[in-house]
């Protein structure tokens, strides 16, 4: 995940470039480059074999100037405090770019969920929540699903928190099952945001999204929904890879069948609708749009020179290293940065939180309409900023985000 590099430093590099262009006050600069709170907890649980294991968990609240911390919890063997801190910082900027009243948070537990039973996962989740219960809450910090976590894990988090506070607190977490206060449209929201920003980029660059060729790396929630929705607006997805393998078909892949295949086999490797494709070869394809929707640091200086896409829509968090991004921008590739392209998820999480707090739920059409408006507003803000500052979209997105957080930080003043 951190792939041989300190990803918090990568975030700082992106931040510094934007802060310089913005002429950010040095004092505010210091505040915005330090996490507000980093929590490390030990989570002892009894495994199915009767032995006690102790897992390490983290929760980082990077900045809460605009509102409660917001961000997912991931379960993965490579989780580290550095990674969680960087992701919490990215959530701060993502929420600010999307213009929603949340700060940035992130959590993680070092574990391999593929080797754990459902009972062990539930025990671990509940113990982790019990350890951080004083730090989270609808007005403090609102977790969500991330890598290897899902709506069931969110249900356990909500229940554990509710048991501690003595009442049902649906708004403590988002990405919940619909039956217990989840929002319609939430599962597709990140991929829908990728589709909307890609469509708007095509309009700006004056090429027709209908018939445009697309390659997608990663076929989890974000990759599969992005591929499906891009197909529905007329794009042609010709290549997809996941953790195990990939498929290529110049005429276009049947994404609906591929989604069914992936549900059944947990991979698209072996999908009969095209030729096998290696992950390394995906980036070399001559396509209009490339959607990296896997993990961090996938586009590096090793493969960036081979990329031929006009548009890269970052479905994943931090998929492009700073050097690779500069190289792509210099070559004229239009990179829609993660904090804009995949902000659909956190925007609809915000809608879920609002619905839970009001106890009144919207139809899916209403959720999607509001998401469309928010994503188009965010895209336009970032695009106009990039034109005004004569810079790339990533730097422009940071300028928009930093300016919003810095403005409120100045207004709120210094608490001594």
Q: DSSP readout, 121-187?
A: HHHHHHHHHHHHTTT-BTTTEEEEE-TT--HHHHHHHHHHHHHHHTS--GGG-SS--GGGTPPTTHH
* pLDDT in the model for residue 1: 37
pLDDT, residue 318, reads 83
User: What pLDDT score was predicted for residue 2?
Assistant: 40
Annotated catalytic residue within 106, 176, 284, 308? 106
Long-range contacts of range 165-172, CB-CB < 8 Å, 24 or more positions apart?
A: 165/137, 169/137, 169/138, 170/356, 171/138, 171/142, 171/353, 171/356, 171/357, 172/136, 172/137, 172/138, 172/142, 172/143
Q: What is the pLDDT of residue 14?
A: 83
Spans in the chain with pLDDT lower than 50:
1-5
pLDDT, tens digit (0-9, with 9 covering 90-100), for 350-362: 999 999 999 999 9
- Which residues sit opposite 107 in a β-bridge? 59, 73
Collect all residues with Cβ–Cβ distance below 8 Å to 39 and sequence separation of at least 6.
58, 59, 60, 61, 132, 135
Across the chain, mean pLDDT equals 95
Domains of the chain: 33-180 (3.40.50.10860), 183-416 (3.40.50.720)
106 in catalytic set: yes
Q: What pLDDT does residue 3 have? A: 40
């Amino acid at each position: 995940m951190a792939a041989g590099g300190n990803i918090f430093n990568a975030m700082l590099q992106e931040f510094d470039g934007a802060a310089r262009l913005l002429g950010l006050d040095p004092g505010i600069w210091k505040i915005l480059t330090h996490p507000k709170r980093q929590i490390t907890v030990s989570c002892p649980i009894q495994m199915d074999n009767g032995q006690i294991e102790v897992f390490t968990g983290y929760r980082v609240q990077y900045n809460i100037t605009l509102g409660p911390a917001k961000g997912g919890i991931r379960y993965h063997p490579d989780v580290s405090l550095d990674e969680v801190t960087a992701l919490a910082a990215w959530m701060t900027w993502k929420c600010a770019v999307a213009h929603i009243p949340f700060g940035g948070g992130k959590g993680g537990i070092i574990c391999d969920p593929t080797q754990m039973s459902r009972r062990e996962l539930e025990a671990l989740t509940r113990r982790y929540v019990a350890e951080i219960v004083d730090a989270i809450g609808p007005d403090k910090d609102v977790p969500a699903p991330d890598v290897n976590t899902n709506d069931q894990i969110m249900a356990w988090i909500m229940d554990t928190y509710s048991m501690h506070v003595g009442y049902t607190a649906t708004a403590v977490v988002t990405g919940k099952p619909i039956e217990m206060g989840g929002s319609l449209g939430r599962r597709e929201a990140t991929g829908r945001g990728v589709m909307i920003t890609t469509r708007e980029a095509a309009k700006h660059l004056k090429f027709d999204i209908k018939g445009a060729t697309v390659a997608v790396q990663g076929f989890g929630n974000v990759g599969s929904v992005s591929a499906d929705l891009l197909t529905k607006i007329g794009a042609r997805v010709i290549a997809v890879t996941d953790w195990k393998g990939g498929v290529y078909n110049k005429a276009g892949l049947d994404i609906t069948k591929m989604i069914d295949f992936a549900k059944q086999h947990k991979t698209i490797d072996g999908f009969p609708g095209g030729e096998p494709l290696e992950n390394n070869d995906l980036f070399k394809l001559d396509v209009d749009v490339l959607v990296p929707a896997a993990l961090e640091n996938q586009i590096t200086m090793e493969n960036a020179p081979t990329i031929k896409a006009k548009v890269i829509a970052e479905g994943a968090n931090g998929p492009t290293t700073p050097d690779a991004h500069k190289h792509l921008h210099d070559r004229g590739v239009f990179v829609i940065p993660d904090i804009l392209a995949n902000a659909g998820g956190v925007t609809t999480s915000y809608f879920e939180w609002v619905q839970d707090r009001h106890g009144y739920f919207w139809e899916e059409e209403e959720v999607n309409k509001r998401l469309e408006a928010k994503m188009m507003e965010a895209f336009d803000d970032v695009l106009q900023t990039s034109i005004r500052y004569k810079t790339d979209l990533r730097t422009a997105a940071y300028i928009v985000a930093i300016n919003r957080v810095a403005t409120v930080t100045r207004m709120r003043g210094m608490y001594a």
